[in-house]
Amino acid sequence: MRHGRRLFALTFLLPPLALYAVFVLSPYAQAFQISATDWKGLSPDYEYVGLDNFGKLLEDAHLWNALKNNAILLVALPIITIVLALFFATMLTVGGRKGKAGVSGVRGAAFYRVVYFFPQVLSVAIIGVLWKEVYAPRSGILNGFLRAIGLDSLAKPWLGDPDLAFYCVMAVMVWSNVGFYVVLFNAAMQSIPKEIYEAAMLDGAERGTVLRKITVPLLWDTIQVAWIYLAVIAIDAFALVQIVTNGGPGESSRVVGLYLYEAAMNENKFGFASAIGVALFFLTLSIAFVSLRLTRRERIEL
């Protein structure tokens, strides 16, 4: 009987596992092989060059510039997104008016959850095109709004300024991700007994104190997961940058994922591009491991 159940389970598991191996694991393995060659991508001919491609990475100023932008995203994106998401989730859960009986969120909390989550139903392509139009110097909504309220001096060519373009893309990344984590943290906060919040409010605790002393410690596991996911998004960041600025002006907003794409598709350096991908793979694993170690805390049981 037990043998029959195992056979039944394997019958359903083997096809998806085989597809995963062919379409996910196999390309990963091939990338490691290609990274040790000088393959141009247009012919079956190539030569093994060993670790030469990785040596070139260390001397490539363009790669280091892209890596610098990814490092800024790696620090700023998780911090800004998580702080905003925690604030909004707190307001939606326990941010009701003072003096009101019990613990409740702000008025219209259900509507705000939908508004915050809305960017998640849009594809990255739509978000990129939408914000590219928002930032347009002449017809864009942002400059149009500034001129309408008499702040013409603040109207700028946002995506054409090397000092601003990268941070404009970062703002879009925060906007497109914060809603998901608002809903995630809000759902996690529903599991915290209301009595804890009520006791804190009876003791006269301010909302900021409640957030720091109660919400954050009790949601730490969820925050840790959010940090890892946002770190992975920051290391990649290819699609949005490619659509909004294409790495420009110059190389001011280029990220490593875009540089990999350009090396493969524009310069036909598939071996070199695969070496970038392999390096990015190990960088992502290392950052995830370090983040888990640094943010590890003792679990608080309710």
pLDDT digits (tens, 9 = 90+) for 206-238: 777 878 888 888 888 899 889 989 998 998 889
- Checking if the pLDDT of 4 tops 70, the result is no
pLDDT at 162: 92
**CATH class of domain segment(s) 59-294:** mainly alpha
pLDDT at 96: 62
pLDDT at 101: 45
Q: Which of 11-15, 104-108, 174-178, 193-197 has the lowest mean pLDDT?
A: 104-108
pLDDT at 3: 60
Output 273 or 28, whichever has higher pLDDT: 273
Output 230 or 200, whichever has higher pLDDT: 230
Q: Are 54 and 275 in contact (CB under 8 A)?
A: yes
pTM summary value: 0.86
Q: What is the pLDDT of the chain when averaged over all its residues? A: 86
- Checking if the pLDDT of 108 tops 90, the result is no
Q: In this structure, how many other beta carbons lie within 10 angstroms of the beta carbon of residue 248? A: 16
pLDDT at 291: 81
pLDDT at 246: 92
Q: Where are the domains of the chain?
A: 59-294
